[in-house]
């Protein structure tokens, strides 16, 4: 396959907001009213199995070598770009995918641009704000993992921690709902991006949500990531909210969970990077519905590895699987009565130079065949309580419930 595309700068005024310009069936990766939006498919690469990420990284390099690009903008996200989403587990039935859009609209630091495959045509969704249809309210119900089943799985996980099979494991539950045929995913994306602007709002091949966790970003050999582990609900007034945040920062259970996640990331980054630096202590990250313990990690890439190469070795982190990784994944397969699919897998974009941004597909859902499946999970450690963990999943489901209301 040989592609030819051109990137040109767009003239926009100060009122331009990319979240108002989502086309039908949009691919998207947005944060703080900036990012990338795609329409159509000029190329689609897929893979399954344990080597899915390595295979797609190689296929991407091959596609780059066969693409002619005229890029007059020259910023991260201009030129040839693919949106991507990867399955969580090696044995998942879901395909992992990279999609090159026919048309890409980008916005970053006040610069806006348009990338088009030469033969592509469409309505000019970038010229005027788009009208998103109002959806009927959608109510999620229990899926394959009931509330009682989830709490039982948590209890079993704690027993496996007590007998030293694992130190931490992340257990998830699923929620499902039917959608009308006229369901407009753009309405949900707009709500995500507006209510949770500091999260990464994503939409790739039916998977959509607003993730607070950046798996890895690479830009000119500078590597960064954000680790989240340790959670508490927001308070009902400022005094209570402050007390909750303070208690979270002092919680031995949450600190232990967080340290597992940070260390697993640092260990893997050191294989590709120099000068790996992580925050000495986590900070409290404030979201509209939750407090998280968060740590930022920075490093310098040693070689010509791409962001996909890094994502392949970083996934799955202890924040979404557990530690030790292999034992935690085996336990997840035993305790969760569903295939996670692309939930908790990497989601983001890659450019022709191998740079890009990948979040972890959290706080979202999969839309497929007029059905939505949402997921929420919790990190289980020795001090975990099944009832408290169930309550945490409800807090984590709040963004998707709001987006579908």
Which member of 102, 167, 213, 357 is catalytic?
A: 213
What tokens does 239 get? 């005094």
168, 357, 389, 392: which one is catalytic?
168
Structure tokens at 43: 């190329």
Confirm whether 168 is a catalytic residue.
yes
As to burial, measured by CB atoms within 10 angstroms (0-12 exposed, 13-18 middle, 19+ buried), residue 165 is middle
Phi and psi at 188, nearest 5°, equal -65, -45
- For 112: left if phi > 0, alpha if psi spans -120 to 50, otherwise beta; the answer is beta
Cross-strand pairs, 6:
70, 116
Distance CA 81, CA 84 (A): 10
Is 271 catalytic? The answer is: no
Active site residues: 168, 213
């Amino acid at each position: 396959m040989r592609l030819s595309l051109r990137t040109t700068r767009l003239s926009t005024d100060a009122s331009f907001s990319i979240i108002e310009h989502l086309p039908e069936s949009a691919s998207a990766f947005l944060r703080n009213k900036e990012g990338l939006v795609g329409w159509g498919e000029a190329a689609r690469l897929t893979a399954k199995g344990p080597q899915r990420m390595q295979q797609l990284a190689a296929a991407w390099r091959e596609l780059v070598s066969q693409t002619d690009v005229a890029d007059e903008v020259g910023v991260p996200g201009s030129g040839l770009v693919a949106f991507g989403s990867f399955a969580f587990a090696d044995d998942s039935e879901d395909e992992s995918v990279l999609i090159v859009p026919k048309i890409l609209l980008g916005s970053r630091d006040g610069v806006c641009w348009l990338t088009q495959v030469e033969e592509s045509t469409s309505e000019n969704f970038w010229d005027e704000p788009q009208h998103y249809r109002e959806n009927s309210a959608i109510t999620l119900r229990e899926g394959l993992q009931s509330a009682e089943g989830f709490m039982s799985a948590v209890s079993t996980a704690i027993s496996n921690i007590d007998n030293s099979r694992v130190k931490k494991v992340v257990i998830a539950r699923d929620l499902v709902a039917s959608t009308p045929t006229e369901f407009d995913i753009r309405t949900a994306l707009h709500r995500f991006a507006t209510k949770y602007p500091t999260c990464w709002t994503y939409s790739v091949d039916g998977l959509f949500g607003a993730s607070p966790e950046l798996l890895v970003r690479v830009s000119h050999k500078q590597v960064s990531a954000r680790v989240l582990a340790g959670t508490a609900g927001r308070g009902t007034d400022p005094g209570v909210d402050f007390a909750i945040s303070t208690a979270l920062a002092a919680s031995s259970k949450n600190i232990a969970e967080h340290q597992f996640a940070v260390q697993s990331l640092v260990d893997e980054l050191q294989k590709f990077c120099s000068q790996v630096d992580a925050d000495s202590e986590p900070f409290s990250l404030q979201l509209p519905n939750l407090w998280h313990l968060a740590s930022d990690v920075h490093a310098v890439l040693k070689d010509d590895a791409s962001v996909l190469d890094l994502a392949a070795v970083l996934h799955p982190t202890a924040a979404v699987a557990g530690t030790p990784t292999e034992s935690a994944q085996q336990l997840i397969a035993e305790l969760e009565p569903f295939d996670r699919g692309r939930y908790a897998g990497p989601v983001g974009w890659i450019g022709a130079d191998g740079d890009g941004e990948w979040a972890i597909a959290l706080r979202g859902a999969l839309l497929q065949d007029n059905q939505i499946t949402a997921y929420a999970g919790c990190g289980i450690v020795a001090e975990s309580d099944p009832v408290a963990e169930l309550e945490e999943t409800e807090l984590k489901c709040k963004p998707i419930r709001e987006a579908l209301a």
